[in-house]
A and B are shown apart, each in its own frame.
Chain A
């Protein structure tokens, strides 16, 4: 617990070229109501669904019958595009995720979260795996465990918030995003985790101009 001023003064930095990068197709970026930076009216997304299928019988089926519900009309999200061709537990899927996140800037250093290993490949998990999902309404959990550079990092919450915002903006609305401090990596990880999991607090935080400014800055380096 050596006190290093405010943060890790000398973080291990990886070369940017080592980090794979991939641009998300623009059309697939999430523009849901919780995308904080898209306040202007936008055309309704296919996944909002209400006008697509007004036949009540389809929508009121019991839990078990939903499997054969298919919304064939709209262009599906190209999962291959997002997740990579060959799914493997710590392979392409996580790489893709990592690309969304690893280019976020550290709030204090001119480096990215990937470079100082706050975001790590092995600490990103999707469930169920993309291969198993058929229906665009099936929920997928994205769990991201962050490793702060020092265990009392005062900016843990801000970093967590930036990661959450990035994923909410980039992923379709059927993703449920869980951002946590990796076990034991932070002195107040329970508190930070609870805050990051609280939708209402996250929403309110993003209406705070100071915080919003910091996060926008962190996300500037994202493609």
Chain B
């Protein structure tokens, strides 16, 4: 592994890092059937796992079942997204914990909006207790109906085929859904028109009302995943020239081997601002950088897929963007050309380039990659059952002329070893810290995520990060990660 000589140029944090990934006991109970994904709540110690027609929510403190969402979908639930915390993030865990909202995307073509209302549950319990007291012979059968805690409060219909992914924008204003019908839908939460305003906070009674604001149909194949850029420093950026667009940026990954980026223009229209081409198979997912480097113009983007490759994409410098347009008009755009036809290039609003390809580890589809907001480490899983951990080896500013190497990288995506060495001195190159084989025994692993630790074994509850993997075996497994 540690073959790359440390880069000659200044590095900020890289020393000889070693990492230890240790398996922790799985969440209980096992689900005994394929589980697709586990999504941690942004602020609370909860994680929601999609499996069969339902979602099981586990507690990150007890590592056991918290509640179950069931009965709302007639086919498999493929994905889930937590509503982001409203208003001031720190505004009292107590209140938020009483009201949770989760959106589920299902193969039954719908997305479900679910609400968990602690207050209502307490009322019901009280009523039951009263009933019991009045009628001491009452059967206690109903007591354990945890499923009732979650209520399906709204069904979002519109997609023609299976919904593959759902995701909230950082403010909670928008929800994106995508489907095998090749479309991406953007929904706006109009029941709670100004989610970030603080007066709203006291009102528990925001309504479930969503409006379709866009149906985007430019992909040529199933849309596998949608992810909004998080609200990190750099998103609204210094990145000139003055943007005509809204702040929210959505990335979509597709069976057509591409990634597309979408923004809202000044007139409420959502438009495709970039097509990222380079993968040679289905793109299974995309992830934004949660903690951008200081000198970056904009958060970077990861994409991964059936071609066993993970790519890192960066927004190009605005000046060059203009040059690019000029060249594009003149038809001589080769140094940046990676397959986008000239006619199309001119109409694109943003130029994204592939600035790194991760060392190749997986044999078979890569289903999921997670980017840590704390450490910047990446972790990937796939059909080969391997869990891999990567670290960026340099974090300096990109020198101006690296174009040749990068071009090479882009065209030789499937020649990982040469890439790894060629990229060793380039900015934004990555090395493998460690791998775990058979992380779910012989089963495929469908999902990996970073999340905070709250269990008794943690030394720094609420701060320490761990990994959670979700597999075909129905096991949801936390992993301790120690970096030296």
Q: Do A and B come from one complex?
A: yes
Closest to B74 in A: A207
| CB <8 Å contact, A60 and B20 | yes
Task: Report if A198 contacts B (CB, 8 A).
Answer: yes
In the assembled complex, which residues on chain A have CB atoms less than 8 Å from the CB atom of B345? none
Closest to B21 in A: A60
In the assembled complex, which residues on chain B have CB atoms less than 8 Å from the CB atom of A200? 78, 164, 222, 224
Task: Report if B17 contacts A (CB, 8 A).
Answer: no
Q: A42-B32, A199-B383, A204-B76 are in contact. Are A32 and B282 (CB under 8 A)?
A: no
Q: For chain B residues 18-35, which have a beta carbon within 8 Å of chain A?
A: 20-26, 30, 32-35
A44: which of B32, B76, B443 is its contact (CB, 8 Å)? B32
Instruction: Give chain A's interface residue range (CB within 8 Å of chain B).
Output: 35 or more
In the assembled complex, which residues on chain B have CB atoms less than 8 Å from the CB atom of A130? none
A204: which of B107, B434, B474 is its contact (CB, 8 Å)? B107
Task: Report if A48 contacts B (CB, 8 A).
Answer: yes
Task: Report if A50 contacts B (CB, 8 A).
Answer: yes
In the assembled complex, which residues on chain B have CB atoms less than 8 Å from the CB atom of A41? 32
Q: For chain B residues 99-142, which have a beta carbon within 8 Å of chain A?
A: 107
Contact with B along A179-219 (1 / 0, CB 8 A): 00000000000000010011111011001000000000000
CB distance from A31 to the nearest CB of B (A): 10
> Could you say which of A16-24, A78-86, A170-178 contacts chain B?
A170-178
| CB <8 Å contact, B383 and A176 | yes
A47: which of B26, B161, B442 is its contact (CB, 8 Å)? B442
Task: Report if B243 contacts A (CB, 8 A).
Answer: no
Task: Report if B349 contacts A (CB, 8 A).
Answer: no
Q: A199-B383, A203-B34 are in contact. Are A33 and B224 (CB under 8 A)?
A: no
Q: How far is the CA of A48 from the CA of B475 in the complex (A)?
A: 8
| CB <8 Å contact, B435 and A137 | no
Contact with B along A46-79 (1 / 0, CB 8 A): 0111100010100111110010000000000000
Q: How far is the CA of A172 from the CA of B442 in the complex (A)?
A: 9
Task: Report if B66 contacts A (CB, 8 A).
Answer: no
| CB <8 Å contact, B437 and A137 | yes
Contact with B along A25-51 (1 / 0, CB 8 A): 000000011100001011010011110
Task: Report if B384 contacts A (CB, 8 A).
Answer: yes
In the assembled complex, which residues on chain A have CB atoms less than 8 Å from the CB atom of B383? 176, 199
| CB <8 Å contact, B30 and A34 | no
Q: How far is the CA of A11 from the CA of B380 in the complex (A)?
A: 47
Q: How far is the CA of A41 from the CA of B75 in the complex (A)?
A: 18
In the assembled complex, which residues on chain A have CB atoms less than 8 Å from the CB atom of B268? none
Q: A33-B474, A60-B23, A137-B385 are in contact. Are A48 and B441 (CB under 8 A)?
A: yes
Q: How far is the CA of A199 from the CA of B282 in the complex (A)?
A: 11
Contact with A along B445-484 (1 / 0, CB 8 A): 0000000000000000000000000001111010000000
Task: Report if A139 contacts B (CB, 8 A).
Answer: yes
| CB <8 Å contact, A63 and B437 | yes
Task: Report if A136 contacts B (CB, 8 A).
Answer: yes
Contact with A along B352-370 (1 / 0, CB 8 A): 0000000000001100000
| CB <8 Å contact, B475 and A50 | yes
Q: How far is the CA of A32 from the CA of B306 in the complex (A)?
A: 23
Closest to A135 in B: B438
CB distance from B439 to the nearest CB of A (A): 8
Chain A residues close to B by CB (< 8 Å): 32-34, 39, 41-42, 44, 47-50, 54, 56, 59-63, 66, 135-139, 172-174, 176, 194, 197-201, 203-204, 207
In the complex, the 9 A-B pairs of residues with the closest C-beta atoms, listed nearest first:
A174-B442, A33-B34, A49-B441, A137-B438, A33-B33, A56-B22, A173-B442, A59-B23, A207-B75
Instruction: List 15 other contacts, CB 8 Å, given A49-B441, A66-B437.
Output: A32-B443, A33-B32, A33-B473, A56-B22, A60-B22, A61-B437, A136-B442, A137-B438, A173-B442, A174-B442, A199-B444, A200-B164, A203-B107, A204-B75, A204-B76
